[in-house]
Amino acid sequence: MRVDQAKAIRLDDFLQRLGHLPAHLRSGCKWYKSPFRQENSASFKLSRDAMAYYDHAEGKGDNIIELAQRIGQLQTVSEALAFIENTVGDLNLADYS
């Protein structure tokens, strides 16, 4: 998988494949309980287009590659790309082109 292919994948699809579902929808944005810690209230928000996230509890966010590195505790972009590819599996990447 290439970086451009990974960045074309919606984060809500990626998170769903990892077993994370939105806690609620507010103002067109999906909110999740953080995949990084236990929490009672959803503080992890996806952008409206679901291409970026922002973790309000930590005060930072980024794209799918950084998210994959954090969730998978991975060091390199290459490892993150492999993790994303393994996670999305049969997801039709042509739908994201």
pLDDT in tens, 15-64: 999 999 999 999 889 999 999 899 999 999 999 999 999 999 999 999 99
Binned at pLDDT 50, 70 and 90, residue 89 comes out as confident
Quickly state the pLDDT bin for 93 (edges 50, 70, 90): low
Phi, psi (degrees; rounded to nearest 5) at 87: -75, -45
Note the pTM of the prediction, 2 decimals: 0.89
Q: Which residues contact 23 (CB under 8 A, 6 or more apart)?
A: 31, 32, 33, 41, 42
Quick one: average pLDDT of 10-17?
Answer: 96
Query: Residue 91: its pLDDT value, please?
Result: 67
